[in-house]
Chain A
Amino acid sequence: MLETRYNPLTDEWVMVSSSRSARPVLPSENACPLCPGVLELEKDYDLATFENRFPALKVDAPDVVQESELLKKIKSKGVCEVVMYTSEHDSALPRMSLNQIEKLIFVWRDRTFEISRNDFIKYIFLFENRGKEVGATLSHPHGQLYAFPFLPKRIQVKVNSMRGYYHKNKKCVLCDIVEEEIEKNERIIYQNESFIAIVPFYARFPYEVHIYPKRHVTSVLDLVNKEIEDFARALKVVTMKYDKLFDQEFPYMMCFFQKPFNLNEVFDDFFHFHVEFYPPKRDKDKIKWMASVETGTWNFINPSLPKEVADRLKSIEVNLDD
């Protein structure tokens, strides 16, 4: 079954994709379905994307039969793609060359551009789940994208907050945060000419890190050449610091927040593109669980002080040539 159901209690949509329960489990190392010529990609590749074998959203989603006036459904019309970072099975974002990461940014831009041409797409969400702790079933370096026919709930909240701040202050909230963080320089773990990486004042996870562009850009499509180079550096530095933190492959959820597409509103002046990393770990061998309070109320309890975490991450030296 593939359909999207409305929850009138929370005003949010839930995607039902029952075929996903049959998705592949971790294969043996020599039979990775993402390696060239094994299963998903028939040819050799440098980078690649493909439509998910078990999508939660698809362009030709089946029609739905309404259950009742109250219990509404819509077609799960959208796009779910897997983004292959490299054909090298044992690589990972922190171990990829800057050149390869820049190429990856091109792929994100290409998919965002192409998919946003479809009027029914309202939101394009790029992300990566790294590590078993966040449900990644395949270790070959890859991310994903979901292109939704609606604005997911948390995106709605972000848009509403950013719009509200802009209307009140005539300025973009993230532009102001970037300015204040640079001025205070307490939580910045890395910065270059175009980006800052910080443990935000409002971090929900102990090792949460956000990457913000210094210029007001709204999606990966807005970036200029220099910013693409600097974005690649920021992504590599943050993920390298993560891996060095406990000398292990550090699990995380990496989420890209771009402006919505194909909606009758001008988002450009208040929506500021940004990346958020949510690592599930609170220590080398301890998990910060999404437990009752976090899941039930959407309220997080962060057991760490963002400034202290920032100091720790900042102090980790990384060599970009590694």
Chain B
Amino acid sequence: MKEYRIVLGEKFNLPDEDCVLQFEVVNFDSSKKTYNLLKLFELPVDVEKIFLNNWQSWGSCDFFSVGLDISKYFEVPPAKDFVLAFTPEPELFREKDKLMSDYFVAFSNVLIGFLKSEFSHNFFVYDKGKKTISAYVDLFGKELETGEKLVLEPLVVLKNKKIEKLLETYGALVAEKNNISADKKVRVGWCSWYHYFTNITYDELKKNIEFLKNLKEKIPYQFVQIDDGYQKDIGDWLETNSKFPEGLEGIVKSIRDAGFIPGIWLAPFSVSETSTVFKEHKDWLISDENGEPKVAYRNWEKNIYGLDLSNEEVLDWLKNLFKELKNKGFEYFKIDFLFAGAIPGKRKKIVTPIEAYRVGLKTIKDTIGDSFLLGCGAPLLPSIGIVDGMRIGADTSPEWFEDIVAPFPNSKVALRNVITRYFMNKRWWNNDPDCLLLRKEDINLPENVRRLYSFVSAALSNMVIESDDMELVDEEGLQTFVESLKLCDGEPRVFNLDTDEKVYVIGVKGLLDGNYILVANLENKEYEIEIPEDAKLWTGLREEKITVPPRDVVVVRDKIRKLKVERARRKDDNRLVNYYWDGDENC
């Protein structure tokens, strides 16, 4: 692909072909200069719909009408307390006549996207009045000496392809540029959050471990992850509260003794106003213009602050924290609310929020080594190459609400992102679609919705994590899990991301069990969907139309004849031998 180098300020026309654009800023002034928000270019774009992406795990990624007023969702609590979670550019974000898209934007068979975010925040703004799209880079006060040049982060322009091909090509280019080799294995586990929330207790954890142990033959659970609710406070992670009298050691022992990988949740860049860290180390926090600690967000009915990851003392504290957790036996770390480390504000060193964030994240990864690191509430591009897994949608919920924009606990919003961000999976990291909820009680999701979430997450080969009180999961729920796992491990493509109704056609090929088409209906009425030609070509299936009930899923599969396989190692030299016999499970 052709690369163009452009000095910012020079006349420049966007090439007609696919290309990489590499902008440079040069300080031509006679004194040191500070750089903040830079506009790289502005394009006229007259469209009805535009594909937007929010910078963070929980944020939306979808086609939206250009008339959308995103600001109305962020003017009322709880969203009001979370604006910095959804953008490091809150003023621009709230403007009624603008739509922001972080990292990439797509419209009319064109995608423009940044390939990296290692030091700047890179985004696009659609101006409703001018009908233009502008590309921006925020350098957050980076300084250049006279004559000094800064090469900005590259962006790619892709044209003349359908949206799914644009996204997949963009995903592959980002992976290539960041030298990513995401592993292909699907991970299966259990998490305490979506049944117990913060009310999890040691006894309930042990009860669930026992259930999971007894299900091992049926479902290959690998890890058990304790979520929020075990710790003394946000920031005081090594001390457990009174519900966990055996401490972290007890949690690890119970999980490990049952043969699972011990996993733990924490929000390592967040500090609550009641925590010991806050009381003893206010100088460790990102501060506002007056030097006062800056509230990153409100949660747990408390003000939460972000750690200054440019401060060596903070990094040492992080290192010790994760070393300690690893030494205790945890090997799976879900780190949440990560945006808190990347909010704009004053830091000890002159670094951008993105640079500070990456140093903090790398410190954690370097400390835990081969253990699995799952990011959540995280700026996406700056996390690439550091995390092993990433939440790519809002929190799911035991509830389903129809509004598809609001990024708050809602299984519909969460599932929409699982579909629209499918192209990131196995390219940038392992996508975490958030948990499958398969219980029948203490839940407002009917069986069809539980199946819909489960099948779609598995078909797109995401991580598969259940979050239930296992005592409440009946045979039907377990069967849904087992059926879901049979859908994993193929090569998926979503063929109608530009649909007005949220009824998606997903084609999956490359599986020993046979290719299939899955239609996921996120709407509350029945649809008869005409299968796109491209989906038929991808899968080899010839289905013309598939009818799918409201909020449900239909899978049409080409059943392939299979053989029985016995995999063995030779006794003398340990070479692998596979013996194949007739014994067609599928017929």
Contacts and interface: CB of A to CB of B under 8 A. Distances in A.
Interface of A: 41-43, 45-51, 53, 81, 102-103, 106-107, 109-111, 113, 116-117, 119, 167, 170, 215-217, 219, 221-228, 262, 264-266, 268-269
B580 A48 contact: yes
Interface stretch (B29-37, B177-185, B314-322, B356-364): B177-185
A226 B560 CA distance: 9
A102 B579 CA distance: 16
Given A48-B578, A110-B578, A119-B183, A264 B175 contact: yes
Interface string B17-57: 01000000000000000000000000000000000000000
A266 B561 contact: no
B169 A222 contact: no
B374 to A, nearest CB: 19
Contacts of B582: 46, 103
B131 to A, nearest CB: 28
Contact of B561 (A45, A225, A227, A265): A225
A223 B181 contact: no
A253 to B, nearest CB: 24
B416 interface: no
Contacts of B181: 119, 262
27 contacts: A41-B577, A41-B579, A42-B570, A42-B577, A43-B579, A45-B580, A48-B580, A50-B575, A50-B576, A50-B577, A81-B576, A103-B582, A106-B560, A106-B561, A106-B563, A107-B580, A116-B184, A219-B510, A224-B514, A224-B539, A224-B540, A227-B540, A262-B181, A264-B172, A266-B169, A266-B172, A269-B165
Interface in B485-522: 491, 493, 509-512, 514-515
Contact of B160 (A46, A116, A170): A170
Contacts of A269: 165
Interface of B: 18, 160, 165, 168-169, 172-173, 175-176, 180-181, 183-185, 427, 491, 493, 509-512, 514-515, 537-541, 558-563, 565, 570, 573, 575-582
Contacts of A222: 509-510, 515, 540
Contact of B184 (A117, A170, A223): A117
Contacts of A46: 563, 579-582
Contacts, number: 111
Contacts of A47: 563, 580
A224 B578 contact: no
B138 to A, nearest CB: 27
A285 B465 CA distance: 64
Nearest to A59: B576
Contacts of B510: 113, 219, 221-222
Contacts of B539: 224
B180 A264 contact: yes
B158 to A, nearest CB: 11
Contacts of B579: 41, 43, 45-46, 48
A223 B185 contact: no
Contacts of B165: 266, 269
Name the residue in B180, B185, B514, B575 with the highest tally of chain A Cβ atoms < 10 Å from its Cβ.
B575
Contacts of B512: 109-110, 113, 221
Given A106-B563, A110-B512, A264-B176, A217 B580 contact: no
A155 B576 CA distance: 27
A47 B18 CA distance: 47
Contact of B491 (A106, A262, A264, A268): A268
Contacts of A215: 537, 540
Contacts of A111: 578
Nearest to A229: B561
A53 B558 CA distance: 37
A191 to B, nearest CB: 17
Given A224-B560, A262-B184, 17 more contacts: A41-B577, A46-B563, A46-B582, A47-B580, A102-B561, A103-B580, A107-B578, A113-B511, A170-B160, A216-B537, A221-B511, A221-B512, A222-B510, A224-B514, A224-B539, A266-B165, A268-B491
Nearest to B509: A222
A319 B580 CA distance: 27
A217 B510 CA distance: 10
Contacts of B427: 264
A51 B568 CA distance: 11
A48 B63 CA distance: 49
B372 to A, nearest CB: 15
A42 B569 CA distance: 10
A119 B184 contact: yes
A102 B511 CA distance: 16
A117 to B, nearest CB: 5
Contacts of B576: 50-51, 81
Given A217-B540, A266-B165, A269-B165, A48 B558 contact: no
A99 to B, nearest CB: 9
B18 to A, nearest CB: 8
Contacts of B180: 264
Nearest to B587: A225
Given A110-B565, A215-B537, A266-B169, A225 B558 contact: yes
Contact of B563 (A107, A113, A170): A107
A117 B570 contact: no
Contacts of B577: 41-42, 48-51
Contacts of B184: 116-117, 119, 262
A203 to B, nearest CB: 28
A227 B563 CA distance: 17
B560 A228 contact: yes
B560 A225 contact: yes
Name the residue in B160, B183, B540 with the highest tally of chain A Cβ atoms < 10 Å from its Cβ.
B540
A85 to B, nearest CB: 11
A221 to B, nearest CB: 4
A170 B539 CA distance: 20
Nearest to B174: A264
Nearest to A104: B580
Contacts of A224: 514-515, 539-541, 558, 560
Contacts of A226: 540
A217 B160 CA distance: 22
Contacts of B183: 119
A225 B510 CA distance: 13
B489 to A, nearest CB: 8
A45 B538 CA distance: 34
Nearest to B490: A221
A106 B579 CA distance: 12
Nearest to A215: B540
A77 to B, nearest CB: 14
Nearest to A58: B575
A-B complex: 4 closest residue pairs judged by Cβ atoms = A224-B540, A264-B176, A51-B575, A264-B175
A239 B497 CA distance: 45
Nearest to A49: B578
A42 B538 CA distance: 40
Contacts of B168: 266
A167 B540 CA distance: 24
A46 B576 CA distance: 17
A218 B580 CA distance: 24
A111 B579 CA distance: 12
Name the residue in B541, B575, B579 with the highest tally of chain A Cβ atoms < 10 Å from its Cβ.
B579
Contacts of B558: 224-225
Nearest to B583: A46
